[in-house]
Amino acid sequence: MKLSKLKDWAKAQAARTLWAYGPAELAARLREIGVVPGSTVMFHSSWLQHSGFQGKPADVVRTLKAAVGEDGLLVMPSMPYHNMSSAQWLAKGKPMNVLRSPSMMGLVSEVFRRSEGVQRSLSVTHPLLAWGRDAAAFVEGHERTERSFGEASPFARLLARDALIVGFDAPFSTFTYTHFVEDQLEATLPCPLYELEPVAGVVIGRDGQPFDCTVRVLAAEANRLRREDRLVEHLQKSGVLHADRLGRTALTWIRAAEHSRESARFVAGGQHFFDAPPAASA
């Protein structure tokens, strides 16, 4: 047996035994980290082979819904593109169909999108999925704000609802709430956060009719100069960014309010998680 096949066999065996856990264990761990009935949870995920979870993506979704309950709110990202920037996505000219465009943010997110009672925001670049109390109100108006992460967006409502942001085999770098934090700290950035000109896009609404909207996309320079590892180090040292394992699944979590507060404190202390642009040559 080749070494690679032997390693795969060993991982598969460990996933069924040593790392094995099911929906009940996931529910218990979620309670331990603060997911209780009535909670608002923003959930980012990857569906990895040999994670140890003994179930299907639908079992994760059912466990999460039960954990927050009908009086809570479960939120997931559902961007219709992957491995490209929002500017690159818009350049393709494809509409975001609120009912039909699949979520490219992992299998759990796509299963959640198709599940009963889920609402989807009409953002052309960063649509969010929501289920539970006031889900429709939570996603409402996303298409009317040029800044997908701005004060008028659902991302601001995560802060207002004291949301817990959870990564399920999804690292902190996937947490889109960080862009809301950047938007709030825009005046402190050493470079523009957004490109100067808004970009046009098309959304196909729930009635099947297309409509035009414009958004400000994150600047290519800002994406190049972002140094998120500095922020992660600060959040970890401050004790607000947590990490653990369940089976072989990596869990990461932070409260939206603590993310906002500590990120602002980091910047106020004279540091930043963006580099300054290189000085122009004479």
Task: Tell me whether residue 280 is in a domain.
Answer: no
Task: Tell me whether residue 277 is in a domain.
Answer: no
Task: Tell me whether residue 110 is in a domain.
Answer: yes
Angstrom distance (rounded) from CA 226 to CA 213: 27
**Do 94 and 144 contact (CB within 8 A), yes or no?**
no
One DSSP character per residue, 143-164 reads: GG-SSTTSTTSHHHHHHHTTPE
Task: Tell me whether residue 2 is in a domain.
Answer: no
Residue 162: give the domain boundaries. 10-268
Confidence (pTM): 0.94
**Do 14 and 132 contact (CB within 8 A), yes or no?**
no
Task: Tell me whether residue 3 is in a domain.
Answer: no
Q: Please write down the long-range contacts of 86-91, taking CB distance under 8 Å and 24 or more positions apart.
A: 86/125, 86/126, 86/148, 86/215, 86/217, 86/218, 87/195, 87/199, 87/217, 87/218, 87/220, 89/125, 90/124, 90/125, 90/199, 90/200, 90/201, 90/215, 90/217
- Residue 232's contacts (CB-CB under 8 Å, 6 or more residues apart) are 172, 241
Task: Tell me whether residue 153 is in a domain.
Answer: yes
What is residue 9's predicted lDDT score, i.e. its pLDDT? 54
Number of independent structural domains in the chain? 1
**Could you give the angle at which helices 23-32 and 57-68 cross, rounded to 10 degrees?**
40
Instruction: Return the bridge partners of 166, or none.
Output: 43, 253
What is residue 12's predicted lDDT score, i.e. its pLDDT? 73
**Do 203 and 211 contact (CB within 8 A), yes or no?**
yes
One DSSP character per residue, 35-76 reads: --TT-EEEEEE---TTS-B-S-HHHHHHHHHHHH-TTSEEEE
- Number of other CB atoms surrounding residue 236 within 10 Å: 14
Task: Tell me whether residue 99 is in a domain.
Answer: yes
* pLDDT per residue of the chain (282 residues) written in tens, 0 to 9: 566 676 675 577 766 778 899 999 999 999 999 999 999 999 999 999 888 899 999 999 999 999 999 999 999 999 999 999 999 999 999 999 999 999 999 999 999 999 999 999 999 999 999 999 999 999 999 999 999 999 999 999 999 999 999 999 999 999 999 999 999 999 999 999 999 999 999 999 999 999 999 999 999 999 999 999 999 999 999 999 999 999 999 999 999 999 999 999 999 999 999 999 987 544
Task: Tell me whether residue 101 is in a domain.
Answer: yes
The phi, psi pair for 193, rounded to 5°, reads: -80, -35
Q: Which two tokens stand for residue 86?
A: 């929002």
Angstrom distance (rounded) from CA 105 to CA 81: 8
Length of the chain: 282
Q: Which two tokens stand for residue 68?
A: 């927050």
